[in-house]
Amino acid sequence: MRFWLLIFFLVSPAFSWCQVRISGKVTDTRKNPLYGVSIAIKDSYDGTITDSAGNFSFSSSETGNQVLVASLQGYATFQKTISLSPPVQPLDILLKELITELKAVTITAGSFEASDTKRSAVLNSIDVATTAGANADIVGALKTLPGAQQVGESEGLFVRGGSAAESKIFMDGSLVNNFFYSSIPGIATRGRFNPFLFKGTVFSSGGYSAQYGQALSAALILESKDLPDQTEANLSVSVIGLGGGIQKLAKNKRASWGLTYNYTNLGLAFAVIKQKQDYFKKPEYHEADANFRIKTKTGGFVKYYGYLSWNRLGFRTADIDSFALKDVFKLENLNTFQNLTWKDKLGGGWRFQTGLSFSTNKDDIGNELNDEDGQKLIITNPIVYALKNFNVHNRDKYAQARAVVEKKLFALNKLRIGSEYLYSEETTNYVDFQGALFQQTVKDNFFAAFSESDLYITNNIAARVGVRAEHTAILDRWNLAPRVSVSYKLNNSGQFSFAWGIFYQNPERKYLPAAVPNLHFSKAIHYILQYQKMSPERVFRAEAFYKQYSDLYKTSPNLVTGQESVSNNNGYGYARGIEFFWRDKKSVKNLDYWISYSFLDTKRDYLNYPVEMQPNFAAKHTASLVLKKFVIKWKTGFNASYSFASGRPYFNIQYDPVADKYNLRDKGRTINYNALGFSMNYLPHLGKKNAKMFSVLVLTVNNVLGQKQVFGYNYASLNDHKVPITPTSKRFVFIGWFMNFGIDRTEDAINNNL
Amino acid sequence: MKKILFIAVFITIGSGLFAQSGKYIKAMEANIAALDSSFKNPQDLLAVANSFERIADKEKNQWLPYYWAGYCQVIYCYMVTDKSGIDPLADKAEKLLNKADSLQPNNSEISCVLSMLATARMLVDPQTRYMQYGMQADNYLGKAILQNPENPRPYFLRGQGLRHTPEQFGGGCKTAMEQLKIAAEKYVSFKPASAIDPNWGEKQNQALINECNK
């Protein structure tokens, strides 16, 4: 009986009469005091939290041996059995930090991220769409970031002294071969894809991951959206065309499909805004895309995206080798792109990502020399006039398969292994002025395998170490490209990153002859050092880089077609520079702005360059200021951007058949580039509850001040006469109305969730 | 002897349980009483939040301590000035509220706090996050009203949100007042299930009404 009484007293808290004081201090492993640590006697109400000096003190009515628990988010929970017989000695508690995604440093060297979900993102999809001067073009917006050049005479991303061909673009892991509309002489064509297709964009201006290859300079990695929030329909009307689309979300919210169609015709715009070119066929585009997305039971996604586009245009420009003659350029293009991907979890910390993509491109290009009345003219003496009459029919097919598996190891450490296979078949039919056909087909079987691991040593130090091996049938060679990237976080939310890597690339298709013996990969080595300090409202970043090029392709003329083709790997060069980026959403209310500046010092000897020199696509100084202000009272966003680039070199390189070498006949530097862009978005339905329609009225003006822009010079064939390459019009104005008919299912959502 | 033993055991357990529940109510009441004054000082609020969490971890199958701990953590999110620190705190609050929800599913009060949590996440970067968290916050309030039409808090929260939304976005006093008035009426007739059940917001609701009446 006495035994039971004892138990009775021990277990019944109502009978506890003694209070014992427990105190101590909590620090991390570096002896820094920890604030807000929860201290508790397990299975009791007794406890407290630590103050800013890490101290705690509380009294407990518990007795005997009890478990003391100290816990704080991001740290391993501490447990210790203590005896609660007074006096209890003060406790010194050490909490070990856990490596968690929220706290761990992110590897950022060389890359800019635009994402709607990730915390390390610098931009989001709305930023891309509303950057003035970018015309809702992804690459247009990226040109306001450091590293990218303001090249206006041809399409592509020119990054840190690299040519457009040295940047590659990937969608959900698959290479996009014809990301831009087909080249038009003297005009920078846009990217084909709508920025709202993507939830994340990583623009890597160097030192990118071993998952990607075949780009000496840069990789643009696009990740498509998951399921839409609701079923909706879109309609757009603008000065350049009409469009419509639908996104249907399944009732169970696990799948969706969508279709869009756009028709663009620049006839109306060109009637008002005078173009440099005299169009006899106004640019006309038909574009359609289709998608489906299925969320799997395990949280993975199957995604399909298919794109089909047909476009044509034709114009005349003044012939450079004569006073009154005209050059005619005609283009008709048919392009398809299809990408099917599946990413999912396998269990046991394994994930996989697979993709299949197939694309085709068909270009029919016609060049003619016309007389004043627009009649075709064949002048055979001198022959250069006759050579202006030709047709090119390009037929390209690409297929790609890709698989990546990822294993999550302890903490955040990960290992990725993957492989990809690419088949390409590119046929060129060149028809000369006499109707002779020169046909050439280049096929490649390209294989790559890579392995990469993310290593988190502590929350403050992380490394990504990877290696990539590639084999290409064109060269019949292997390469091995190691890549390393390390980030170290300081205590004040600043971090240093360093990246190093080797990058290889095949010769460009347009310079590929039938066969060249002993050709190998062109190569670049990147060294990047970065400092970044980031908060949700401010980003500062400084990056210095050095790139060493070797084995760049040199070309020589094909004596039959006059086409330049690769002859050896004797080219070389370097690029070095420093870049700054500052974004601030905080200092001025409702004003968001960013400033970027790039300094670039680069020289190379490649293609037909007679000596090592600064390429014509590289400016020494490039700067951009982007402003975004939303005036709530007017429901209108105002965006402006100012871009500056110092003059770029231009030159006239001519082949001397007698000496069998290229000569630099003329050279110079263009005037500085200045452009002010402006755009306005008016959202009339903003804030109207239960409105079935949401619309945006957009007005954009490029080169508002009409500043003179010269991108380079074209040279005559027979003498040193040169003509500046300028924008097609002084400025361009776009007005559009984008309507979104949300099929609001809020009520359904509530009912389904109940 | 067996009988005595049996009775002794019975008394032990019984009185223990009784004492336990008495202690539970008392501890909860003390914390709720401490809440009001703790809103002035983040550290005090965090201390109360932790105290609720300790009770929750001990009781395990009471939803109220988890609810209140989550509620405190959400309010704490609003007091933090460093925006980059909000997401981890919100994650913690969400964990607590999910526990409360699993013990007491379809509860209008929990939906209210989940709505406040979504708003806290939205405020980290309203421009980017509005589509996701702004809509989520509103959906939770809709849910809260369906779950208990007599609960004044969803109307108060909706009114409070509208009060701080610019007129051009469909907010402002005029639209807010409709909601605040409904809330005020419901506060009059609302009776909490017990002294430790949620019964907050009436004063703030009145303050907003006064502000808008000025």
CB contact (8 A) between residue A13 and residue B16: yes
CA distance A696 to chain B (A): 14
- Give residues with Cβ within 8 angstroms of B128, minimum separation 6: A116, A124, A126
Name which of A750, A751, A752 to mutate to probe chain B: the one with the most chain B Cβ atoms within 10 A of its Cβ. Answer: A750
Identify whether residues A89 and A204 lie together within a single domain. Answer: no
For chains A and B, what is the number of CB pairs under 8 angstroms?
120
Q: Which residues of A touch B171 (CB under 8 A)?
A: 687
Identify whether residues A153 and A196 lie together within a single domain. Answer: yes
Identify whether residues A83 and A163 lie together within a single domain. Answer: no
Identify whether residues A75 and A129 lie together within a single domain. Answer: no
* pLDDT of residue A517 exceeding 80: no
CA distance B119 to chain A (A): 16
pLDDT at residue number A121: 64
pLDDT tens sequence across A175-195? 999 999 999 998 989 899 988
Residue in B47, B87, B167 closest to A102 by CB: B87
Instruction: Tell me if residue A302 falls in helix, strand or coil.
Output: strand
d(CA B71, CA B32): 11
pLDDT tens sequence across A264-279? 999 999 999 999 999 9
d(CA A665, CA A655): 10
CA distance A472 to chain B (A): 43
Residue A11 lies in a domain: no
CA distance A301 to chain B (A): 19
d(CA A60, CA A166): 69
A741: its two tokens = 């008919």
Residue A642 lies in a domain: yes
Confidence of residue A749 (pLDDT cuts 50, 70, 90): very low
- Give residues with Cβ within 8 angstroms of A255, minimum separation 6: A227, A249, A292, A293, A294, A295
pLDDT tens sequence across B71-92? 999 999 998 888 878 888 999 9
Name which of A45, A48, A67 to mutate to probe chain B: the one with the most chain B Cβ atoms within 10 A of its Cβ. Answer: A45
Q: Which residues of A touch B147 (CB under 8 A)?
A: 754
* pLDDT of residue A15 exceeding 50: no
Which is more confidently placed, A458 or A402?
A402
**Stretch A538-551: mean pLDDT:** 95
* pLDDT of residue A690 exceeding 80: no
pLDDT tens sequence across A196-205? 888 888 889 9
pLDDT at residue number A744: 52
**Stretch A361-382: mean pLDDT:** 91
Contact of B136 with chain A, judged by CB distance below 8 Å, is answered with: no
Under a CB-based contact definition with an 8 Å cutoff, are residues A511 and A496 in contact?
A: no
Residue A104 lies in a domain: no
Residue in A116, A124, A750 closest to B142 by CB: A750
pLDDT at residue number A16: 45
**Dihedral angle over CA of B28, B30, B35, B38, nearest 10:** -140
pLDDT at residue number B129: 78
* pLDDT of residue B157 exceeding 80: yes
CA distance B206 to chain A (A): 25
| Domain boundary pick from A62, A95, A128 | A95
Say how many residues make up chain A.
754
Instruction: Tell me if residue A443 falls in helix, strand or coil.
Output: strand
Identify whether residues A317 and A454 lie together within a single domain. Answer: yes
- Which amino acid is located at A117 in the chain? T
- Percent with pLDDT over 90 in chain A: 63
pLDDT at residue number B17: 46
* Nearest Cα residue in chain B from A687: B169
**Secondary element (H or E) of residue A169:** strand A167-171
Identify whether residues A70 and A139 lie together within a single domain. Answer: no
pLDDT at residue number A560: 66
Identify whether residues A444 and A557 lie together within a single domain. Answer: yes
DSSP code per residue over B26-45: HHHHHHHHHHHHHTT-HHHH
CB contact (8 A) between residue A632 and residue B166: yes
- Give residues with Cβ within 8 angstroms of B160, minimum separation 6: B176, B180, B204, B205, B208
Confidence of residue A630 (pLDDT cuts 50, 70, 90): confident
Identify whether residues A232 and A331 lie together within a single domain. Answer: yes
Residue A1 lies in a domain: no
A707: its two tokens = 């500043």
pLDDT at residue number A10: 45
Name which of B12, B131, B174 to mutate to probe chain A: the one with the most chain A Cβ atoms within 10 A of its Cβ. Answer: B12
Which residue in the block uniquely carries the two structure tokens 């809709």?
B142
Under a CB-based contact definition with an 8 Å cutoff, are residues A619 and A646 in contact?
A: yes
pLDDT tens sequence across A398-429? 999 999 999 999 888 999 999 999 999 999 99
Contact of B104 with chain A, judged by CB distance below 8 Å, is answered with: no
Name which of B17, B21, B24, B57 to mutate to probe chain A: the one with the most chain A Cβ atoms within 10 A of its Cβ. Answer: B57
d(CA A211, CA A449): 8
**Secondary element (H or E) of residue A591:** strand A591-605
- Judged by average pLDDT, the poorest of A144-153, A640-649, B8-17 is B8-17
DSSP state of B159: H
Residue A501 lies in a domain: yes
pLDDT at residue number B149: 94
Q: How many domains does chain A have?
A: 2
A580: its two tokens = 């700054």
**Secondary element (H or E) of residue B210:** helix B202-213
Residue A311 lies in a domain: yes
Q: Is A22 exposed, middle or buried (0-12, 13-18, 19+ CB in 10 A)?
A: buried
Range of the domain at A69: 16-95
| Domain boundary pick from A95, A120, A136 | A95
Contact of B193 with chain A, judged by CB distance below 8 Å, is answered with: no
Q: Which residues of A touch B165 (CB under 8 A)?
A: 687
pLDDT at residue number A106: 75
Q: Which residues of A touch B22 (CB under 8 A)?
A: 14
Identify whether residues A22 and A141 lie together within a single domain. Answer: no
Other CB atoms within 10 A of residue A697 CB = 15
**Stretch A364-387: mean pLDDT:** 90
For all residues of chain A together, what is the average pLDDT? 89
* pLDDT of residue B9 exceeding 70: no
Residue A102 lies in a domain: no
Q: Which residues of A touch B82 (CB under 8 A)?
A: 535
d(CA A497, CA A487): 4
Residue in B16, B131, B139 closest to A12 by CB: B16
pLDDT at residue number A114: 66
- Per residue, the 3-state secondary structure of A24-50, as one string, reads EEEEECCCCECCCCEEEECCCCCEEEC
CB contact (8 A) between residue B87 and residue A749: no
A714: its two tokens = 């074209």
Contact of B98 with chain A, judged by CB distance below 8 Å, is answered with: no
CATH number of the domain that residue A293 is part of: 2.40.170.20
Residue in A38, A537, A592 closest to B83 by CB: A537
pLDDT at residue number B168: 73
**Secondary element (H or E) of residue A298:** none
Residue A21 lies in a domain: yes
Identify whether residues A192 and A216 lie together within a single domain. Answer: yes
| Domain boundary pick from A71, A95, A119 | A95
Residue in B84, B146, B165 closest to A754 by CB: B146
For all residues of chain B together, what is the average pLDDT? 87
CATH number of the domain that residue A21 is part of: 2.60.40.1120
Q: Which residues of B touch A493 (CB under 8 A)?
A: 84
DSSP state of B131: I
Alpha helices in A240-355 (DSSP H): 267-272
**Stretch A456-463: mean pLDDT:** 88
* pLDDT of residue A740 exceeding 90: no
Identify whether residues A147 and A187 lie together within a single domain. Answer: yes
CA distance A396 to chain B (A): 40
Bridge-based pairing state of the strands A218-224 and A167-171 = parallel
* pLDDT of residue A133 exceeding 70: yes
CA distance A90 to chain B (A): 20
Contact of B46 with chain A, judged by CB distance below 8 Å, is answered with: yes
d(CA A1, CA A410): 54
Residue in A1, A38, A116 closest to B50 by CB: A38
Residue in B54, B125, B128 closest to A45 by CB: B54
pLDDT at residue number B20: 55
pLDDT tens sequence across A209-247? 999 999 999 999 998 988 887 888 999 999 999 999 999
Identify whether residues A84 and A203 lie together within a single domain. Answer: no
CA distance B197 to chain A (A): 19
